[in-house]
Structure 1
Amino acid sequence: MSAPVRSSPLALTVLALLHTRPLHPYGIQRLIKEWGKEQVVNVEQRASLYRTIDRLNAAGLIAVRQTERGSQYPERTVYEVTEAGRETARTWLRAMLAAPKREFPEFPAAVSNAMLLPPAELLEVLEERLRELEKDLAGLDAGLGEEGAMGLPRVTMLETEYLRAVTAAETGWVRSVVDDLRAGRLTWSEEMLAAFDGGDR
């Protein structure tokens, strides 16, 4: 018997998409992009999708429905979600929604070590980040506008709303730090930091 599959954003998304209809891996990847799921699920490496499908299949959470053959494309295996897969998806979903998970994204780690850069250099890189965040925010606003114009149920737009809120919060914080760096309200030097270092240097 295979080991239980650990929950992951990609595994949950595969199970969720197979709730809609049986799909082959290419169809799953296409729907992830068409439905904007690539904003919250990393599918840049196709191999990771195939590995996830293999694990779900081995665990009995999905099953082979049929094999398609055509002259325009190679043989494709179509998968469907099993009853165990439906139950597992619901269990994973409830757990992911209910309990905040302690994650370790790279930006907070970089911020915690920002004093390694001089103030002028930190200002330069944060100004660059701010420009990218503002572009992302504009893109999310445009996406929400398009989705709203299509008359989609709000529940299908929640992930975009969430990403917009998180991006807006980060944009505001980064902008405030940039403003403080520009005004000299936030500054430091090696001597200043050394004064608070209780260890030997």
Structure 2
Amino acid sequence: MATVVADLVGLTVLALLAERPCHPYEMQRLIRQRRKEQAVGSPRGLYRAVQRLERGGLIESAEVGRAGNRPERTTYRITAEGFEQFQHQLDDLLAVPDTDQPTFTTAVALLAHLSSESAIRALESRAVLLSGQIAEMAAQLAGLGPILHRVLLVELEYLLALRRTELEWVRALRSDIADGTLNWDAEAIRSGTAAPPGPVPEGGPMT
């Protein structure tokens, strides 16, 4: 009985083997060529994923060969069950929004534990970093667009859209705090009642 693919590295391995049988070194080459390193990480992680998938019956050895004095290389192929699970999980990942809570979401939820001045400084710093990431991603898209098929770049398009939306929201939040549209009264927050707009009361953030 095969196990469900639970990690993105394993999913990437199955995607490559769904195209054609290949050995781990060839997988690494394709990952670099397609600029997918962020999904896999280190080569060691890829080899561990291959071992897990083989143990689970999702992939199998197709042949073992040697070229010249190089070490033996095992070529793997995806099994029928592996292909079925790959298709099922990929469909779910695309269709169902991720429920994992990002780190930034937690930080925003605890915003009231900072002073308004500290929150403004932190948000300004985040906006600067986001702007740099956006510029870098846009440059990557411009450079890779004429080289790679767009279907290999849609993840970068998605990340760029997320960063741009986040930057817009961060700037708006920073502005609301700075002009007093958003403030927090420690006692009101503890009691769960809404505080009226205006200057932050004496005492600052929650303690």
TM-score (norm 1): 0.80
Structure 1, unmatched stretches of 5+, are: none
| 1:113 Cα deviation from its structure 2 partner | 0.7
Find the aligned partners of 2:170 and 2:78 in 1 and give their Cα distance: 43
Alignment partner of 1:197 out of 175, 190, 203: 190
> Hey, what does 1:8 align to over in structure 2?
7
Is 2:183 the partner of 1:187?
yes
Whether 1:122 aligns to 2:119 is yes
Runs (4 or more) in structure 1 with deviation over 4 Å come to: 68-75
Letter in 2 for 1:181: I
Aligned partner of 2:33: which letter? E
Change (3 A) 1:196 1:126: closer
1:73–1:97 distance in 2 versus 1, CA, 3 Å: same
CA 1:179 to 1:84, structure 2 compared with 1: closer, same or farther past 3 Å?
A: same
Larger Rg belongs to: 2
Q: 1:145 to 1:59 in 2, by over 3 A?
A: same
Cα 1:128–1:28 shift into 2, 3 Å: farther
What code does the residue aligned with 1:124 have? Answer: R
CA contact (8 A) 2:123 2:170 kept: yes
Percent of aligned pairs with the same residue?
39
Could you tell me how far apart the structure 2 residues matched to 1:84 and 1:179 are? 53
Contact 2:22 2:75 in 1 (8 A): yes
* Structure-1 residue corresponding to 2:18: 19
**How far 1:155 moved relative to its partner?**
2.4
> Are 1:176 and 2:172 an aligned pair?
yes
Q: Give yes or no for the alignment of 1:133 onto 2:130.
A: yes
Deviations 1:118-144, CA, capped at 9 Å, x for gaps: 122222222221111111111221122
CA contact (8 A) 2:177 2:183 kept: yes
* Alignment counterpart, residue 163 of structure 2, candidates 155, 167, 176: 167
Matches within 5 A, 1:2-81: 4-39=3-38, 41=39, 43-69=40-66, 74-81=71-78
Partner of 2:83: 86
* Structure 1 residues 72 and 105, CA gap change in structure 2 (3 angstroms): farther
Alpha-carbon distance in 1 for matches of 2:25, 2:167 = 35
Query: How far apart are residue 175 of structure 1 and its match?
Result: 1.4
Q: CA deviation at 1:68?
A: 4.6
1:7-44 CA-partner distances (Å, limit 9, x unpaired): 432221111112333333343334334322234x2x33
In 1, distance between residues paired with 2:70 and 2:111? 50
TM-score, scaled relative to structure 2? 0.78
Distance verdict in 2 for CA 1:59–1:147, change over 3 Å:
same
Amino acid at match of 1:197: R
Counterpart AA for 1:87:
E
